[in-house]
A and B are shown apart, each in its own frame.
Chain A
Amino acid sequence: MSAIGDILHLLITANLWQATLAAAILLLLPALGGTISERSGVVNIAMEGMMLTGAFFGVAADLAWHNPWLATGVAMLAGALMAMVHAVVSIQFRADQIVSGIAINIFAAGLTVFLINRIYGLQDVGHVDQSALLPNINVPGLDQIPFLGKVFFQQNVIVYVALVLLVLTHLVLFRTRLGLRIRAVGEHPQAADTAGINVFAIRYGAVVTSGLLSGLSGAFLAIGISNTFVPNMTDGRGYIALAAMIFGKWTPFGAFVACLIFGLGQAIYDNNSIIHISPYLLSMLPYLLTLIVLAGLVGRSIPPAADGLPYVPGSE
């Protein structure tokens, strides 16, 4: 049977879409973080580093305490700490936010391996037992719905959390007071400041939130999907999340759609034992698509007005 035919056949299997959703969520969390951060005017390409740090500390904590929830908290905290560095450097010191982001990613990758050496020595990072992993949960009843049940209600707990966060992020950004202020700060910090809004507080909060979400994604990767830490296991997802954020035009649901597309590509490739697909084209897919979006072929993508601009109080 032809590869195309095989793929079409795959597309009607619930398994494929179940895998797609899981893969998408892994990207969605950092993408949401990036969206929040950039809506507040702080460019964030450091999700990769925050995610990696989260993954490492998540595993370390889980191995120590055999408690996935605690570990997840630690992972988020670790991501948030990395984010804090980015925040201090780019908000307080008004550093170039892209350079700071690159530095974070290099730093995180270097630090995690450095710490493996210190903590585990030659013994590799151990393996978390099944019992201490973030569990897969089948939603009683709903999981029996044909097709949709498997896709949406037989997933890891983090998937459900992420979907809630997706809706939450959308509501917060576009329906709440806080969201109004975040967007105001990202559009016109001076205006926000003169309106009595604490620009720095908002931006710090937004960046740290992006760290929390990236850290959560790291935990999902390390102690949800797999059960150990492998150097650089994030494998560039932070950058794909960045692409998804732009693809989604800085909106949560837009980013989600992008993540689904990228996730689908991965899910299809996962079947290469059954059907032959060139790994290369599929691996390029997210980046090519993003270029196409940027090329305006699928509508232009316009970021917040003050995205990437440090705020200098009293300046006009």
Chain B
Amino acid sequence: MVRRLTTGLAMPLGSVLLAFVLGGLIVAATGGNPFSAYAALVCGGFGIGCAGGENPGLQISNTIVFVIPLITAGIAVALPFRAGLFNIGAEGQLLAGSIACTAIGIKFSSLPSPILLPMVLVGGMVGGALWAGVAGVLKATIGAHEVVTTIMMNYIAQWFLRYLIVGGPLQLAPGTSKSSPIGAGARLATLLPNDNSLIILGLPSSVFRVHTGLLIALAAAAGFAFLLWRTSLGYEIRAVGQSQKAARYAGISVRRTIIVTMLIAGGFAGLAGAIEIAGVDHNLTDKYFSDTTGFDAIAVALLGLGSAVGIVLAAILFGALHAGGSVMQADAGISGNLVFILQALILFSIAANFVGAIRQRIPGLGRPTALPPDLPPAAPMMTEAAAPPTEA
């Protein structure tokens, strides 16, 4: 794995660098100062070199809060990649997870934390798993392409959520667009005491919103790595991803593997949603209408080359970008949109492996697809749609 990492490192790093250069050009071309912009971005993301009096601790805390769901959601995209599946549905699965988590957290709000917290987290995972399972089953049984089905499931989740909290059963009160909060027992503790009077780094400790979900996310990353490289299932997932036929001839049930993969992936995405509810919001709000974690997760998975460590690093980058965007606007006066343009550029750059091209497609590094050397390309529409995996 370490080997994979080092050999793969040049490509993602180069891609990010390239994206930032291009982004800088766009800023400059539109009359902005890329250096001050990036300086503010770094300050906002990592609390380093802040000119506008930002509190470094606060910035880092904010970044981490964004990073937590990106890690778990990133895994939800990366795992299916390994099986040759392109899960664009992390967002929908995340929403399903947060919905399940909230519903349980409200229904059993009186239960004590040791019981309720596991309930909401597992409930979130189940919700996400079921949402992804639809795509998995459709794929495994009649070969419906998962890219399309997951996109559709994303929309359905979106509208279902709106229904639930705008006039639906989960609505807090008429005229509101949020649910009532989950029980105290369903909430993840913050790492620092949630206390307005206790002063840390010159700020009330309650402003540091980093919560124990961080530990869960890191554990999830470790579990992902273990599953992939140290278990028979992971082996089978990778085998199916690299060659469905070979896997089938070896007696591996391609259908079962596809479904199981999607279920697990959905579980991770659902976990991301549950953690957001249990750790940050404590209720479903309209913020989830505009949530994009599940899409950023695609970039995270690609940039992380589908490896656990890579995902964590990529999640940190995108978390920092998100958190830094606001500061960049406040301090450097460059629109936060730049962050999204950067993200798109990074995607292009990885997808096309411009780096590889620039480096004359040096053998071993210059794989001209979105995916790192040991990842299969997203399966072509046809072979998938036309020929569902057959079993003996």
Contact = CB atoms under 8 A, between A and B. Distances in A.
A236 B383 CA distance: 27
A43 B145 CA distance: 12
Contacts of B198: none
Given A280-B163, A303-B385, A111 B298 contact: no
B351 A99 contact: yes
Interface in B355-370: 357, 368-370
A110 B336 CA distance: 9
A242 B151 contact: yes
Interface in B322-370: 335, 337-338, 340-341, 343-345, 347-348, 350-354, 357, 368-370
Contact of A96 (B145, B151, B371): B371
A110 B351 contact: no
A290 interface: yes
B20 to A, nearest CB: 15
Given A89-B352, A294-B148, A113 B344 contact: no
Contacts of A290: 148, 152
A94 interface: yes
A85 B349 CA distance: 12
B86 interface: yes
Q: Is the interface of B mostly helix, strand, loop or mixed?
A: helix
A99 B370 contact: yes
A243 B155 CA distance: 12
B88 interface: yes
Contact of A113 (B142, B151, B295, B335): B335
A315 to B, nearest CB: 12
B280 to A, nearest CB: 24
Interface string A267-289: 00000000000101001101110
18 contacts: A43-B381, A93-B353, A95-B369, A95-B370, A98-B88, A99-B298, A103-B344, A104-B344, A106-B340, A107-B341, A117-B337, A243-B148, A280-B163, A290-B148, A291-B138, A301-B385, A302-B386, A310-B368
Interface of A: 38, 43, 45, 85, 89-90, 93-96, 98-100, 102-104, 106-107, 109-111, 113-114, 117-118, 236, 239, 242-243, 246, 278, 280, 283-284, 286-288, 290-291, 294-296, 300-310
Interface of B: 26, 30-31, 86, 88, 134, 138, 142, 144-145, 147-149, 151-153, 155-156, 159-160, 162-163, 295, 298, 302, 335, 337-338, 340-341, 343-345, 347-348, 350-354, 357, 368-371, 377-383, 385-386
